[in-house]
A and B are shown apart, each in its own frame.
Chain A
Amino acid sequence: MNRDMEKDKKLLTIDVSHGTTHDGPGMRTTVFVKGCSLHCLWCQNPESIHVKNEVWWDSSSCIGCGSCAAACPSGAIEMRPDRIHIDREKCRACGACADACPAMAMTRQGQEYDLGTLLQEVLRDRAFYEQFGGGVTCSGGEPLLQADFIAPFFQRLKEEGISTALDTCGHAPRENLEKVLPYTDYILYDMKIFDSEAHRKYTGQTNERILENLLFAADYMRSAEHPMKLWIRTPLIYDATATVENICAIGAFLRENVLDVLERWEMPAFNGVCVSKYEKLERKWAYDGMGAMSRAQVGPLKQAALEHLPEEKVLVSGMIREE
């Protein structure tokens, strides 16, 4: 693709977050894209799942002026005594309500970036990437679904000498992965559930494609011209992923297939901070009310991981409750 054509490409995002320290090494800017190929029950960014525009309503900013309801061409907004209700069936996601809202209580989840603007925004933090040994991460959503933007975006970053990280669930067409890998330094690859049927139950999809893509990526790394690093990430979710059996199965697979290219296996412990996002979307979160995991819950899982991988590669991250 030539560079003139790239100008017209747009990336659909939900957020560009600066100064992040959880999405790869060092301090980073994380670009969260919109649209995902999985629908994980515990999803931390529910606004990132659907490709279509969505609006959400933030009760703490709302002044109750009713500008949104007046502006809605579909009559989807209802002013209730305790809250504003959006009828998601009627809503055509035109964004008229967000434009009308003076208080930024009603906001579009979904912002398009062109390549130049996004590059300009992330390059402002260059001094921080250099000092902290960080860079730029694309997360989501599933970035590989927008590989035609991500590939040239990463390519430009590489030309600027900035480290790139792809945070992927792995459920994407092979050719998309192939487009992005040449410009990727860190692959942050999610392996959630090893049993394919259970995977389907919790995420909506079986995991064969994910495992195949991982093997492909590992092969690519072995012969890549530039140094690449692989971090496997398994979020610890009550019942779903956080079982000794599941961790053992993933551990065994990793040892057998990717140990030579694997730098880290990270298990971020469950956290409930995203519940407010579900409220803003008027959705019920399946994990509402569940707190941080305790040391006693996490301990056996780490132990299970250590049966397969050496200690320096295993990391449990996030908030863990002392007893």
Chain B
Amino acid sequence: MSDVQLNFIPKFEQSERIRVLEARNQELGTNGMRQFDDYGDHRCWLNIGPFPKMDELPSTKQGFRMSSEQWGEDFRFMMESMEPHIYPCETIVGEVYWEIGLLRPCGTTGWKQAPNADEIEKLMEEAIALGGFPNAYGHTCPDMAIVLQEGYDGILARIRKSLKMYTDLGNETKTSYLRGLEHVCLGCIHYIENYAALAHRLADEAQDESEKERFAGIAACCDNIAHKAPETFYEAVQTVQFAILFDRCTGHGNGYGRMDLYLIDFYRKGIEDGSLTRKAAREMVAEMYMKLRGQYFSFGGRLEDGSDATNEMSWVGLEAYDLVGDYNNLGVMWHPDIDPEYYDYACDVLARHGESTPVLINWDLMHEAELRSGIPAEDAWKVVYSGCQWYCIPGKEWCGHDTSEINEVLPMMRALERAAEKEPEDFDGLYALYEEEFHRTMKAYQAAEAAIDRVRGESQPEMFTSLIAHGPIERGIDIDGPRGVDYQFSSLNILGIPNVADSFTAIHELVYEKKMFTIREVYEACKNDWADNEIMRQRFLNQPKYGNGLSLPDEMFVRVCNSTQQIVESYYNQRGGQPMRPSLFALMSHVEKRAQMGATPDGRHAGEALAHGINPQVGVSKRGLVPLATSAASVDMRKFQGGSIQVDIQPKFFDGKENRLSYIRDFSTAFFKQGGQQINLHIMDLNKLRDAIDHPEKPEYRNLVVRVTGYCARFITLSRDYQEDFVARVNHANMS
């Protein structure tokens, strides 16, 4: 009963080949080869040590320049230096060992190489001091259909055509960028050719007929897709696998789109001509998931005409996860007209595995949010969940998701400090100060982001992502440069909304309604971390809290969300002057920032973690799952770039309930119909988690996967802090 996810009930039998591949994958996940700081086994590349040819790197030889062209040269050199390896039983191949950030400064610190880095740093410091962190990349979504339809030769031809045009026109900035892109494309082709060559050699050497056949198959596939568009389902999956590896070598994680839409034609063709079976397709996709660390693929949603987009590939994509039950990050995009059998299957997978895969997302809401932002209907329907709680239009949208952030607690505490002096007459007076302070944070954020934006395309380009996007090649501008793609809102994570809502609710009641305390007393108490004031702290802690379906705090939550949206959207970015959009999420900053966060009037002590996204502060949601959902759905989510609720329940929650599948289906459906955006659902046995912290060596914990925040990781590979944060979450989930 309680063994969900440690021992899920299989629907498909694993072949010996898949068992071998899964064992290797688990080994790599737990032996540190995929370890990524505190975040667990989150890394796509295998850590075999530092890049051995730093001396020969173009930027070493030429002298380092902040230049997308040189970035492309370095990337090409890195790709060409990766020795191919084909492991036992594999048919989907490819492994990478470094990312560009290990070779040259890029990513969120790329600006440090800019000539005006000192100036940028000063602006960054100002923004951070006021609660803004203005830099990010990742979680956009390239358009996989481009490489699947054109192949690398097709893309290369477009780059060369554009290069010629801008050369003729004398635009040196664009020609330099396009030469960089040409390097990137050639590097990718070379990497695949290396695999083809190795496979040919192994095929020649192999004694065993079936091994010979396996290597010959890999060789033929790589020969073809190094240049041309894939022709078969197998080639298409291998193309996607390579493309994601290349994209990940840029150093970030992205969403990889609606797999069911871009693979369905290959799948149907294979089924029709008899070259493919559903079982074979399932195994190929499963192989890819294991090698790729299951990047964010999505299924379902609607087509352009509004009809349900679910097809056979939607099934195969989920079945592949069901087959292996390993690390994954899939999303199923619900809407009222989704194939009910398919949605049942998605809930069944969740119920049996219990590890928050797939994530359930309200597609109509994302679609309306994109329309609301001004994206035309002919693009808006393409919207896809792109990881964590984000979404975007594949290949056409770059929003700087991921780590950009506004910590709302800081402007709130500044407002309190000012109020302690000014003693505003009523709550609205305090709230006006808060909005002023929020604007101050936003101004500093905007200035720093703009300074980074001015050098972003050259200092931290995302050139492989640009290769399979709509615009960068023709415009000669990187996807993250100004107007490299059509839609470039700035996406800002908002940290601490539940804390601000609960703090304001308590202040509203105790200071302005019951007049038990003055605003100065509240400010002083927080400043001193409630020292000698436990009775007062208890009073604030025990005011009604967001997350319990109570009207008072929920109304405050909506008020805070709405002013957040209005304030954030009134600022524009430097990338084509598009508005900023708030996203109701925090990656891990609610834990990471806790050390520097003072006490808050919601009764929180200094140093305690803040609330995660729109999830209530841990421990305050006491009335169960439905009130939690009602609270979260009380805000109009179309105004935000995503926001998920984390539902962590223990297996005993289901005792006496008729069946898990229907409960998950009906609960999520009702939540979505109320206006909810996304559910990440775990079914976790608390005792098992605690035991896993103390006994990570037990074999049954090797595959214990949890959704830490927006991503999954093997539990035993997380740092102790993150493990304990997760256990606290499950422990406090009052879901009876």
Contacts and interface: CB of A to CB of B under 8 A. Distances in A.
Interface in B605-635: 623-627, 629-630
A67 B535 contact: yes
B538 A103 contact: yes
A131 interface: yes
B542 A27 contact: no
Interface in A8-31: 17-19, 21-22, 27, 29
A196 interface: no
Interface string B662-704: 0000110111011000000000000000000000000000000
Interface in A141-173: none
Contacts of B669: 131
Nearest to B541: A103
A120 interface: yes
B539 A102 contact: yes
Nearest to B631: A124
A127 interface: yes
B657 interface: yes
Interface string A95-126: 00000001110000000000000001100110
A216 interface: no
B656 A19 contact: no
B625 A19 contact: yes
B151 interface: no
Contact of A104 (B542, B551, B671, B674): B542
Contacts of A286: none
Interface string B524-557: 0000000000111011011000000101000000
A18 B549 contact: yes
B505 to A, nearest CB: 15
Interface in B29-68: none
Contacts of B541: 103
A27 B630 CA distance: 14
A65 B630 CA distance: 35
B226 to A, nearest CB: 50
Contacts of B666: 27, 128, 131-132
Contacts of B671: 127
B535 A125 contact: no
B655 interface: yes
A29 to B, nearest CB: 8
Contacts of B538: 63, 65, 102-103
A97 to B, nearest CB: 14
A132 B669 CA distance: 10
A319 B657 CA distance: 11
Contact of B670 (A21, A29, A67, A127): A127
Given A65-B535, A102-B536, A319-B655, A18 B627 contact: yes
A130 interface: yes
A19 B626 contact: yes
A318 interface: yes
A30 to B, nearest CB: 11
B-side interface mostly: helix
Contacts of A317: 656
Contact of A19 (B534, B536, B624, B673): B624
B69 to A, nearest CB: 55
Given A67-B535, A318-B656, A18 B674 contact: no
A148 B398 CA distance: 60
A128 B624 CA distance: 13
Nearest to B540: A102
A260 B49 CA distance: 77
Interface string B167-190: 000000000000000000000000
Q: Determine the interface band of chain A, counting residues with CB < 8 A from chain B.
A: 20 to 34
A103 B542 contact: yes
A63 B625 CA distance: 28
Given A128-B626, A130-B670, A21 B542 contact: no
A194 to B, nearest CB: 26
Nearest to A120: B551
Nearest to B654: A21
A274 to B, nearest CB: 13
Contacts of B534: 63, 65
Nearest to B673: A127
Contacts of B539: 102
Given A103-B542, A131-B669, A21 B657 contact: yes
A103 B630 CA distance: 25
The CB with the most chain B CB atoms within 10 A, among A27, A65, A319, is that of: A27
A168 B370 CA distance: 51
Nearest to B536: A102
B626 A27 contact: yes
A127 B674 contact: yes
B655 A125 contact: no
Nearest to B627: A18
B391 to A, nearest CB: 22
B664 to A, nearest CB: 12
A181 B671 CA distance: 32
A70 to B, nearest CB: 11
A18 B657 CA distance: 15
A125 B626 contact: yes
Contacts of A121: 549, 551
A63 to B, nearest CB: 6
Interface string A25-57: 001010000000000000000000000000000
Contacts of B655: 319
Contacts of A102: 535-536, 538-539, 542
A124 B536 contact: no
A104 B620 CA distance: 13
Interface string A309-323: 000000001110000
A319 B671 CA distance: 28
B670 A131 contact: yes
29 contacts: A17-B624, A18-B549, A18-B624, A18-B627, A19-B627, A22-B656, A27-B626, A29-B626, A65-B535, A67-B535, A102-B535, A102-B536, A102-B539, A103-B538, A121-B551, A124-B549, A125-B626, A125-B630, A127-B670, A127-B671, A127-B673, A127-B674, A128-B626, A128-B667, A128-B670, A131-B666, A131-B670, A132-B670, A319-B656
Interface of A: 17-19, 21-22, 27, 29, 63, 65, 67, 102-104, 120-121, 124-125, 127-128, 130-132, 317-319
Cβ-closest 10 pairs across A and B: A19-B626, A102-B538, A131-B670, A102-B539, A103-B538, A127-B670, A18-B626, A128-B670, A104-B542, A127-B673
Given A21-B656, A65-B535, A128-B629, 18 more contacts: A17-B624, A18-B623, A18-B626, A18-B630, A22-B656, A27-B666, A65-B534, A65-B538, A102-B542, A103-B541, A120-B551, A121-B551, A124-B630, A127-B673, A130-B670, A132-B670, A317-B656, A319-B655
